[in-house]
Amino acid sequence: MEFHTKAISRDATISEVAEIVNYFTEKGYDSCEVMLGFGWALSYYTGSEWLKETVLLKTLTAFILELEDKGLGKVCNDDFYIWVGNSEFKLCNDSDIHLSCNKIAAEHKHFLERWDYKGYDAVEHSS
């Protein structure tokens, strides 16, 4: 299953990254896996294979902002993937956020309800 928010601002996207950090930290997670999409990856990865890497949750926002400051990509303009718990988040190049899961669980409900409350209009995307 995959859900997409409507296009949201860069600041709202960064705020949602902070919520990912807070939510999963409270659930006992200390790290996540990330992978950079095309825009970021061209200058970041040294080889032709792009791999997931582990990042401490408490440093995730700073990690993303540091990459942006280095000119490697831009939030809301380039894809950035986050895997934590049973969720995959994609900070999309279309300025929306995608949430993918096999089956809706409490962690997914949390974000879908939050996005509904914030007016981000998360809807299930059919492929």
14 C-beta neighbours (distance < 10 Å), count = 17
List the structure tokens of 90. 């994609």
pLDDT (0 to 100) of residue 127: 57
DSSP conformational letter for 123:
E
pLDDT (0 to 100) of residue 42: 66
| Cβ pair 109, 23 in contact under 8 A | no
pLDDT per residue as tens digits for the range 38-87: 767 666 767 667 788 999 999 999 999 998 898 888 899 888 999 999 99
In 3D space, the residue among 77, 80, 85, 122 whose CA is nearest the CA of residue 103 turns out to be 85
Query: How far from 33 is each of 47, 53, 56, 113, CA to CA, in Å?
Result: 19, 5, 9, 24
Q: pTM of the prediction?
A: 0.93
pLDDT (0 to 100) of residue 37: 79
pLDDT (0 to 100) of residue 73: 83
- The larger pLDDT score, comparing residue 67 to residue 30, is at 30
For residue 105, what are the domain limits? 2-124
Q: How far apart are CA 75 and CA 24, in angstroms?
A: 21
Which residue is it, tokens 């928010």? 5
Number of domains in the chain: 1
pLDDT (0 to 100) of residue 35: 87
pLDDT per residue as tens digits for the range 93-114: 999 999 999 999 999 999 999 9
Question: What's the pLDDT band for 26 if we cut at 50, 70, 90?
Answer: very high
DSSP 70-105: TTS--TTTS-EEEEETTEEEEE-TTS-EEEE-SS--
pLDDT (0 to 100) of residue 114: 97
